[in-house]
Amino acid sequence: MAERVKTSAPGKLVLFGEHAVVYGYSCIVTAVDQRMEVTVSLRQDKKLLVKANQVGVTRYDRDLSELGRGEVPKAVSFIEFLIKNFYQQYGICVGLNVFTHSQFSANFGFGSSAAVIAALALALSRLFSIELSQIQLFDLCFQTILDVQGVGSGFDAAAAIYGGTLHYAREERAVEPVEVSNFPLVVGYTGIKADTPTLVRQVAELKRQKPKTVEGVFIEIERIVVKALQVIKAGNFAKLGTLMDKNQKLLERLGVSSRELEELMRVSRQEGAWGAKLSGAGGGDCMITLVADKIRKEVETAIEECGGEVLQVKFGAEGVREE
């Protein structure tokens, strides 16, 4: 048994299909090259100690017998529930130190929670010499996401575990790699943190009120996802941009866009972008815009001039790994 293990998992961005994916449709997600790092080590006592300074957790400790009980602070809830689920499943009760370090801000909507549990699940499997397949890692992470936030499609856990660019559908836990050579995307962060569970519940409420309309929107989104897969294969970015615009219009109909997101999209299109859409739950976080290399600088400047922050990331990054 190892004494100490360090792992990392990538953040992610949704390219197409958010929200509909919660209801069994599919999405396209890509892992980004900014990673969440997790270090675990054994303790002599029966405690869990977590340090995650970047999210304000300088020191959190908990008896193992208390894991997942009572009020669990939000900043450590994913970590605590993942350990609880892992320990229960494999009959382990050993004291643990968990330190996390992220290469990206938890505010970007890059899926820091999914990345932290993916990295932690691999770290625990290595620490206790329990060989886990990618699908077993995925199931552990998805269960933890549902335990903590009650809603979600698991696409973020899939991206963190498998990496690359994926066509994902929740029902079959189907992940198909999507071959992309270069993706000329610019990522603009609004500066506003979105709350994913709130937005997912908001869409659920709209679906309750207008089931036919919302189901119709999901079906149209699914058509766009399928089309986008073909267009990505053909490398037709102009067409892909048009599909992004269409997907965005549908997300607006679900009421999850925001003024700040739309402003960043507007200036990008004005500079000649092929298309733009929000990425993720909406309400804030990031927008993505597809641009030809020759106008990339202009688009980036326009985004910054209207208050956005351009995030420099590479796409299709490697999935969870031991460092």
| Catalytic residue set | 156
Nearest to 97 by CA among 121, 122, 129, 62: 62
Could you tell me which stretch among 16-24, 121-129, 265-273, 293-301 binds ligand PMV (CB under 6 A)?
16-24
Using CB under 6 A, which of 10, 11, 111, 188 touches ligand PMV? Answer: 111
Cβ nearer to ligand PMV, comparing 52 with 114: 114
Cβ nearer to ligand PMV, comparing 107 with 136: 107
Chain position whose Cβ is nearest to ligand PMV? 280
Is 155 a binding residue for ligand PMV by CB under 6 A? The answer is yes
CB 19 within 8 A of CB 254: yes
Cβ nearer to ligand PMV, comparing 155 with 237: 155
Distances (CA, A) of 76 to 66, 116, 143, 198: 14, 10, 16, 19
Whose structure tokens read 């949704």?
Answer: 14
Cβ nearer to ligand PMV, comparing 6 with 193: 193
What residues numbered 134-153 form the site for ligand PMV, per CB under 6 A? 152-153
93: left (phi over 0), alpha (psi -120 to 50) or beta: beta
Cβ 145 to ligand PMV, closest distance in Å?
Answer: 8
Using CB under 6 A, which of 5, 9, 15, 21 touches ligand PMV? Answer: 21
Helix spans in the chain (H): 74-90, 112-127, 134-149, 155-162, 196-209, 211-234, 237-253, 259-270, 296-305
Using CB under 6 A, which of 10, 68, 109, 164 touches ligand PMV? Answer: 109
Q: How many residues bind ligand PMV (CB under 6 A)?
A: 16
DSSP bridge pairs for 16: 28
Using CB under 6 A, which of 281, 303, 311, 317 touches ligand PMV? Answer: 281
Using CB under 6 A, which of 122, 140, 200, 261 touches ligand PMV? Answer: 200
Is 222 a binding residue for ligand PMV by CB under 6 A? The answer is no
Rounded to 10 deg, the angle between the 237-253 and 211-234 helix axes is: 170
d(CA 62, CA 46): 9
Cβ 281 to ligand PMV, closest distance in Å?
Answer: 3
Cβ 47 to ligand PMV, closest distance in Å?
Answer: 31
Nearest to 254 by CA among 206, 318, 189: 206
d(CA 257, CA 251): 7
Interface residue list for ligand PMV (CB under 6 A): 14, 18-19, 21-22, 109, 111, 152-153, 155-156, 194, 196, 200, 280-281
